[in-house]
Amino acid sequence: MVAAVVMGASAMAFETVRDYGLTSLFSAKENAAQKKVDASELPFTVSVQPERGEPDSWTMLLDRELTADETQKMQESSSPFSYLRDLGGHPLQYASLLENAPERYREQQFASGRLENVDTFKIGFLSTRAYPVMIDDWKVVDLTCVKSTRKTVVSRPAQGGAAYEGISLHLPPRADEPVLTDDTEGQGKPYFDSRFIEVGGGQSVGALRVEAIAPPGQSCEWGIEVHYTDAHHQDEYVQLKDGNGSPLRIHTESAPENPRQKWVFGSVPWTPCHLNPQGDSCDLA
């Protein structure tokens, strides 16, 4: 009787161990299959959008001169920014004020005597992968610049300055760029030295606000390569692509050096700097 019980218990134990072993084997195979499928998917996709809304200080670039009628409407408008953008203007903002950046970077920022104009956009990274993907570096690639052909500049110069969350870089990038623009510890230092962008694994979209600064009087196009690592031991640089699968191209401008028309306003009345170069705030535009 006792022997029968022992044999029955042993058989049950064997069945349990066998079932557990088979379950573990199936789970391991299933996990391996899932990882293989996960690794075959794109590590991430990218979207680039210009910033919306009207900033406190800005510069608008136009391809042509304003007519007398347009000039009057601009000056009478409750929102010259919106009016000029509807005319086809290209908006620029003023760079984040990096008061807490290293002294070398602060000196470079004010070398011209004023804050630089920046082309601002938001770049978002999205991944459908089940396992995390970490982006920890980027490079500017395929940079091409030509002389700006814009004819008109309208500016509401910055009074003081403000810091915005994100990154900033010149074209071509200076040493250590892109740098952090957040008003926090690390401002003005290399962004990817202490931070990274993580997507996949259930993470929400990883997004950055980018301030790109073209050389004076230039209009530029450029691409981005980012470095990423993942759970599948991928460790490489890849060039970002647009929704059509072509290399992503980003357009960045600065104000032309000798526009035919140049207006400033804001802290001063509307001033035609092309007629009065010594007018108040003309040196800030």
Instruction: Indicate whether 25 pLDDT > 60.
Output: no
Question: Is the CB of residue 223 less than 8 Å from the CB of residue 247?
Answer: yes
- The predicted pLDDT at position 137 comes to 96
* Least-confidence region, from 158-162, 217-221, 254-258: 158-162
Q: What would the mean pLDDT of 135-150 be, rounded to a whole number?
A: 97
Beta bridge partners of 225: 139, 239
> Can you name the residues that pair with 222 across neighbouring β-strands?
250
Give the list of residues 6+ apart from residue 204 with CB closer than 8 angstroms, or none.
none
pLDDT in tens, 218-246: 999 999 999 999 988 889 999 999 989 99
Q: How far apart are CA 19 and CA 107, in angstroms?
A: 70
Instruction: With beta carbons less than 8 A apart as the criterion, state whether 260 and 154 touch.
Output: no
pLDDT tier for residue 2 given thresholds of 50, 70 and 90: very low
For the stretch 109-126, pLDDT in tens is 777 667 899 999 999 999
**Domain-by-domain residue ranges, the chain?**
1-40, 43-284
| pLDDT tens per residue across span 47-57 | 999 988 899 99
Q: What pLDDT is attached to residue 19? A: 55
DSSP alpha helix (H) spans, the chain: 2-40, 68-76, 80-86, 103-109, 191-194
Under 8 Å CB-to-CB from 103, ≥6 apart: which residues?
none
Q: Are 133 and 203 in contact (CB under 8 A)?
A: no
- What does DSSP assign to residue 260? S
pLDDT the model gives residue 34: 66
